[in-house]
Amino acid sequence: MGSASSDYSQHVILFPFMSKGHTIPILHLAKLLLRRPHVTVTVVTTRANRSFIAKSLANTTASIIDIPFPQNVPEIGAGIESTDKLPSMSLYVPFTRATKLMQPDFERALEVLPRVSFMVSDGFLWWTLESAAKLGFPRFAFYGMGNYAQSVSRCVGENRLLAGPESDDELITVTGFPWIKITKNDFSPPFSEREPKGPEFELIMDQVISVSNSYGMIVNSFYELEPAFVDYWNRADKLKVSCVGPLCLGEVPRNEQDIHQKPAWIQWLDQKLEHGSSVLYVAFGSQADISPEQLKEMAKGLEESKVSFLWVIRKEASELEDGFEERVKERGIVVREWVDQREILTHQSVKGFLSHCGWNSVMESICAAVPILAWPIMAEQPLNARLIMEELKIGVRVETSNGSVRGFVKWKGLEKMVKELMEGEMGKESRKRVNEYSEMAKKAMEEEKGSSWRTLETIING
Contact residues toward ligand UDP (CB under 6 A) are 20-21, 24, 48-49, 51-52, 79-82, 85, 285-288, 312, 338-341, 358-361, 364
Minimum gap (Å) between residue 358 Cβ and ligand UDP: 2
Q: Is 63 helix (H, G, I), strand (E, B) or coil?
A: strand
**Of 49 and 117, which has the nearer Cβ to ligand UDP?**
49
In angstroms, the CA 393 to CA 430 distance is 6
**Of 52 and 324, which has the nearer Cβ to ligand UDP?**
52
**Of 48 and 208, which has the nearer Cβ to ligand UDP?**
48
Where in 148-234 does DSSP place strands (E)? 172-174, 177-182, 216-219
**Of 49 and 430, which has the nearer Cβ to ligand UDP?**
49
Minimum gap (Å) between residue 287 Cβ and ligand UDP: 5
Nearest to ligand UDP by Cβ — which residue? 21
**Of 287 and 349, which has the nearer Cβ to ligand UDP?**
287
**Interior/surface letters 247-266, b for 16+ CB within 10 angstroms, e for the rest:** bbbbeeeeeeeeeeeeeebb
Tell me the one-letter amino acid at 435. Answer: N
DSSP 259-322: -PPPPHHHHHHHHHHHTT--EEEEE-TTT----HHHHHHHHHHHHHH--EEEEE--TTSPPPPT
Backbone φ and ψ for 277, nearest 5 degrees, come out as -90, 145
Minimum gap (Å) between residue 302 Cβ and ligand UDP: 18
Minimum gap (Å) between residue 345 Cβ and ligand UDP: 8
Minimum gap (Å) between residue 80 Cβ and ligand UDP: 5
Backbone φ and ψ for 134, nearest 5 degrees, come out as -60, -40
Minimum gap (Å) between residue 170 Cβ and ligand UDP: 28
**Of 24 and 230, which has the nearer Cβ to ligand UDP?**
24
Cis bond leading into 246, ω under 30°?
yes
Give the contacts of 290 (CB within 8 A, at least 6 positions apart): 284, 298, 317, 377
**Of 93 and 174, which has the nearer Cβ to ligand UDP?**
93
**Of 78 and 112, which has the nearer Cβ to ligand UDP?**
78
Residue 172: how many CB atoms within 10 A of its CB?
A: 17
Minimum gap (Å) between residue 400 Cβ and ligand UDP: 20
Minimum gap (Å) between residue 39 Cβ and ligand UDP: 23
Query: What's CA 135's distance to the chain center, in Å?
Result: 30
**Of 339 and 440, which has the nearer Cβ to ligand UDP?**
339
Number of residues in the chain: 462
Minimum gap (Å) between residue 235 Cβ and ligand UDP: 27
Of 187, 181, 180, whose CA–CA distance to 204 is shortest? 187
Asked whether 125 and 17 are in contact (CB, 8 A), the reply is: yes
Asked whether 411 and 300 are in contact (CB, 8 A), the reply is: yes
Asked whether 20 and 364 are in contact (CB, 8 A), the reply is: no
